[in-house]
Copies of this chain bind each other. A is one copy, B any other.
Amino acid sequence: MATVRNHIESIIYFEGIADGELTYITEKTILRTFSSGELIFLEGEPAEGLWIVEKGNVKVFKLNTDGAEHILHLCGPGKTFNDIGALDGGNNPANATALSSGVLVWLVPSEVIKYVLTQNPQVALNVIRLLAVRVRSLVGQIEDLALYSVIVRLARFLLKQAADPSLSGPGVTRTAIAAHINTTPQTISNVLHTLKETGAIQFDRHRIIIVNERILRSIAML
């Protein structure tokens, strides 16, 4: 049980929380295991609570009626997901699945979140800080989709990937990258070659390596 406690302690959500409350939270928190591709939750269903990744990667995504997929977030260890569902007591705003086998995730039930939120004003302020980050990131995603071409979006993704291990590893395939930056695996292939020609990257089937970050940043218009 030490793991839960350590993890929950390090989550910004519960920063500055009293020891008794932390014990209460850890007691109510459940560990779940998922195999590769297994559904964690479905869009539109009542939210169970706040999820925290312990091991592996999780993708949070939207589907349209034709089965096309758009990945909103890729979450690795220490990251939380479905914050909104847990906070407003509504339905899940998206779907989530495990990206590899042996994915471990903690579930803090909504009631626990709500209780702590009303009991401890500091937690509410933490949540506001986190939601602000979330809003800025979503606005950034909208900006990318609306204002920049595939090559710019891919360059930006590669730069983010270099800084965030959640964006690499098993399950983060060309298909997944495509579903995240709103294009197709084939177009990713094409654009990777274009980026290689500029001297910004090198790549093979398994790895994409940034060889000249300056060039990549300029392509990313950053």
Contacts and interface: CB of A to CB of B under 8 A. Distances in A.
Interface stretch (A26-34, A49-57, A130-138): A130-138
Contacts of A93: 135-136, 139
Nearest to A118: B125
For the complex, would chain A's binding face be called helix, strand, loop or mixed by DSSP majority?
A: helix
Interface stretch (A3-11, A60-68, A166-174, A206-214): A60-68
Contacts of A70: 142-143, 146-147
Contacts of A131: 128, 131-132, 135
Contacts of A63: 147
A70 B143 CA distance: 7
B138 A142 contact: yes
A96 to B, nearest CB: 13
Interface string A174-211: 00000000100000000000000000000000000000
B146 A62 contact: yes
A162 interface: no
A84 interface: yes
A127 B93 CA distance: 19
Given A125-B124, A135-B135, A142 B141 contact: yes
A19 interface: no
Nearest to A64: B147
Nearest 4 interchain pairs by C-beta: A124-B124, A88-B132, A70-B146, A64-B147
14 contacts: A62-B143, A63-B147, A64-B143, A64-B148, A70-B147, A84-B135, A87-B128, A88-B136, A121-B121, A124-B125, A128-B131, A131-B131, A138-B139, A146-B182
